[in-house]
Amino acid sequence: MLEIEDLHQYYSGSHILRGVNLAAPAGRVTALLGRNGVGKSTLLKALLGLLPLRGGRIRWQGEDISGWPTHRRVRAGIGYVPQGRDIFGRLTVEENLRMGLAGLRGQAARQVPDEIYALFPVLRDMRRRRGGDLSGGQQQQLAIGRALAARPRLLVLDEPTEGIQPSIIKEIEAVIRQLAAGGEMTILLVEQYYDFAASLADRYAVMSRGEVVRQGAGVEMQDEAVRGLLAI
């Protein structure tokens, strides 16, 4: 469903992405791992069209989307949960979720889907509260719910466990597992937390210095000594 081919990106003359190749199979969870500064977030911004490509190609559902603007990629079914959440602190929980409906039309654009509240009951309980009043974990749930409100076929999550308390990490893990179990959503999970990624991954890839240096089936992560590679 998602194919990234020979992707290159630069910042101020520095070669950040060096010919990245990555595939995320349809209906599966692909975990992209790596230490800070290896280019993971830059790769996601390029995938979403937030950064122009300096080389390479991105294919989505068989179509080259490398030159598409961000809004067109979102309307084509790509949902993004950024690192740091980026919720609107002055808007209520419900208003934040409704922001995710902006690319939809008709009745679907008017009401937050009930399934969002079913996945995250705390958001229903707090739907009249301002997003800035929520805890970090609750804000992460809100950010995921906002992305899901657009009914994506590809969900991209950038470090969803960062700064989150263990109890909510477990809740987020359960939600991702539930979404993946349906087999209709492709999930690209960018993580540093090995155990969280390993528990969910059908496929994995490891980045180092702007390149994908190892990838394979999720069940091979321990056999391939991925944890040791991340600790280097």
The predicted-structure confidence for 211-221, as pLDDT tens digits, reads as follows 999 999 999 88
The DSSP H or E segment spanning 213 is strand 211-217
CATH number of the domain located at residue range(s) 2-230 in this protein: 3.40.50.300
CB 151 within 8 A of CB 107: no
Q: Which two tokens stand for residue 205?
A: 């890839």
Q: How far apart are the two ends of the chain, measured CA to CA in Å?
A: 31
The predicted-structure confidence for 162-220, as pLDDT tens digits, reads as follows 989 999 999 999 999 999 998 889 999 999 889 999 999 999 999 999 999 999 999 98
**pTM of the model as a whole:** 0.92
Among candidates 220, 191, 217, which has minimal Cα distance to 34?
Answer: 191
Distance CA(196)–CA(189), nearest Å, equals 10
CB 181 within 8 A of CB 200: no
Distances (CA, A) of 194 to 49, 107, 198: 28, 40, 6
Percent of the chain with pLDDT over 90: 76
Residue with tokens 């977030």: 41
DSSP assigned state of 113: -
The predicted-structure confidence for 95-147, as pLDDT tens digits, reads as follows 999 998 887 766 666 789 899 999 999 999 999 999 999 999 999 999 999 99
CB 100 within 8 A of CB 155: no
